[in-house]
């Protein structure tokens, strides 16, 4: 929450700076860039339910922590009159998270404390059409398609993956010249959710489908044009989704991946090259 507050304060402070008057060309410029960002994703993951298919035990384990990484984004908006909009983004975070849980054969939540590797990979694309409502406000409805993978280092390694399809909107406001504030919101559905567990430590590896769920995304960012070509940016994104439990897999005496809730909060800062 502290990092989110700092990002919000910075955006509001700079947006209120006494610069030149804004117009929609500032927004168009901010939407035609190649952007490189340093990012940090806070992982908030919780498994609940049952270790096997026979008994419910409540909270099983959690993984939390900041995982550093980078993001590459290419975004464009047609200036000729159609104002068609697209954005393609790839990001990767690689670090460690803190595990709180129990032995895989059962126990009490919190009886096992450790840390493990975490590799988060996302690829997404957006396509929409910008609506220029006023000289300094643009609304862009769009569709988004993406994929997500989390290589989780617990035990001998596990991988979670899904794809998503959603619809959303981006509101962009240029309060003063050179500054653009953007707010995003998306609702969609995670599909093709699956887990793959590696063999090791007395565990037989397996793969299983997971139940799908709605996915929610929101973001707040600010873009500043140092020149017509070079921009700076800062922002925060939030993503929330669930995995429903898998079916019982006939290995290790009966294996079941339980229900889980995943929340990601990603902080971003970077530079852009406008074209």
Tokens at 147, concatenated: 């994929």
Which pLDDT does position 249 carry in this prediction? 82
33, 275 contact by CB (below 8 A):
yes
Which pLDDT does position 13 carry in this prediction? 47
Which pLDDT does position 182 carry in this prediction? 98
Which pLDDT does position 17 carry in this prediction? 47
Query: What are the Cα distances from residue 206, in Å, to 57, 101, 246?
Result: 23, 21, 11
Strands 179-197 and 213-225: antiparallel
Domain ranges (residues) in the chain: 2-274
Note down pLDDT in tens along the chain; length 275 residues. Answer: 555 555 545 555 444 444 445 568 899 999 999 999 999 999 999 999 865 544 546 899 999 999 999 999 999 999 888 999 999 999 999 999 999 998 776 678 889 999 999 999 999 999 999 999 998 999 999 999 999 999 999 888 999 999 999 999 999 999 998 999 999 999 999 999 999 999 987 788 899 999 999 999 999 999 999 999 999 999 999 999 999 999 888 787 777 889 999 999 999 999 999 99
Q: How far apart are alpha carbons 38 and 32 in whole angstroms?
A: 19
End-to-end Cα spacing for the chain = 35
Per the document, the length of the chain is 275
The topology (CATH level 3) of 2-274 is Lipocalin (2.40.128)
């Amino acid at each position: 929450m502290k990092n989110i507050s700092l990002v919000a304060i910075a955006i509001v402070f700079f947006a209120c700076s006494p610069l030149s008057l804004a117009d929609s060309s500032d927004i168009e410029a901010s939407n035609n860039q190649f952007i490189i960002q340093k990012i940090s994703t806070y992982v908030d993951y919780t498994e609940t339910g049952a270790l096997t298919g026979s008994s419910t035990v409540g909270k099983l384990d959690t993984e939390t922590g900041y995982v550093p990484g980078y993001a590459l984004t290419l975004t464009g908006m047609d200036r000729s009159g159609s104002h068609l909009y697209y954005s393609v983004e790839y990001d990767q975070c690689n670090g460690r998270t803190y595990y709180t849980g129990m032995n895989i054969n059962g126990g009490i939540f919190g009886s096992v404390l450790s840390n493990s590797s975490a590799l988060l990979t996302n690829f997404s694309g957006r396509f929409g059409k910008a609506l220029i409502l006023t000289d300094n406000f643009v609304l862009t409805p769009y569709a988004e398609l993406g994929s997500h993978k989390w290589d989780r280092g617990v035990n001998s390694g596990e991988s979670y993956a899904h794809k998503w399809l959603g619809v959303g909107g981006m509101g962009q406001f240029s309060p003063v010249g050179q500054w653009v504030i953007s707010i995003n919101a998306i609702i969609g559905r995670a599909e093709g959710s699956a887990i793959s567990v590696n063999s090791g430590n007395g565990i037989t590896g397996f793969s299983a489908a997971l139940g799908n769920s709605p996915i929610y995304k929101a973001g707040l960012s600010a873009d500043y044009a140092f020149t017509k070509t070079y921009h700076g940016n800062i922002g925060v994104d939030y993503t929330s989704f669930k995995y429903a439990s898998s079916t019982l897999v006939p290995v290790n005496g009966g294996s079941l991946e339980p229900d889980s809730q995943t929340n990601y909060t990603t902080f971003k800062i970077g530079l852009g090259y406008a074209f």
